[in-house]
Homo-oligomer: A and B are copies of this chain.
Amino acid sequence: MRILEMLGSHPLGPPRNIDPWVNALGALHDCSFTCHACADACLLEDGVDNLRRCIRYNLDCAAVCETTAGVLTRCHAEDGDFARTMLEACAIACRRCGADCAHHASRHEHCRICAAACDACAKACDQLIEVLLVPTSTEPPARP
């Protein structure tokens, strides 16, 4: 994905601390795809009766990761209040989905992969929250 290039070409300049942004955007897109794919794989398993909660958590996590990625794409060089709350909600969704997938990881390879993607994404969200909490002294002026 062209995340680093796109952040670097923004007219407001790249975010001050670009690594956790690139990391979070990559993890969010990966987790969103993986959760969509895990939902469909779970749905087609013989034991779908025991995977219903997993599918619901997958669908929530996929949607929240997608939306959070969109919010981050539009938020840099702004106050980060809303972005931070979205990242918190997203980390909850990732942890909830990852924990449920982990229960099925030994039986279903897709759940094993998805648990790893969720775990990586939750951590990437946490790390970007840390960055957004640091007050900015030299914020470039936001446009109206």
Contact = CB atoms under 8 A, between A and B. Distances in A.
A10 B2 CA distance: 28
A106 interface: no
Interface stretch (A59-67, A122-130, A131-139): A59-67
Majority SS at the chain A contact face:
helix
A109 to B, nearest CB: 4
Contacts of A29: 1, 29, 33
B88 A37 contact: no
B96 A82 contact: yes
A86 to B, nearest CB: 5
Nearest to A28: B33
A119 B69 CA distance: 22
Interface of A: 1-3, 5-12, 25, 29-30, 33-34, 36-38, 40-41, 43-46, 48-53, 55-56, 59-60, 63-64, 66-67, 69-71, 73-75, 78, 81-82, 85-86, 88-89, 92-93, 96, 108-110, 113-114, 117, 142-144
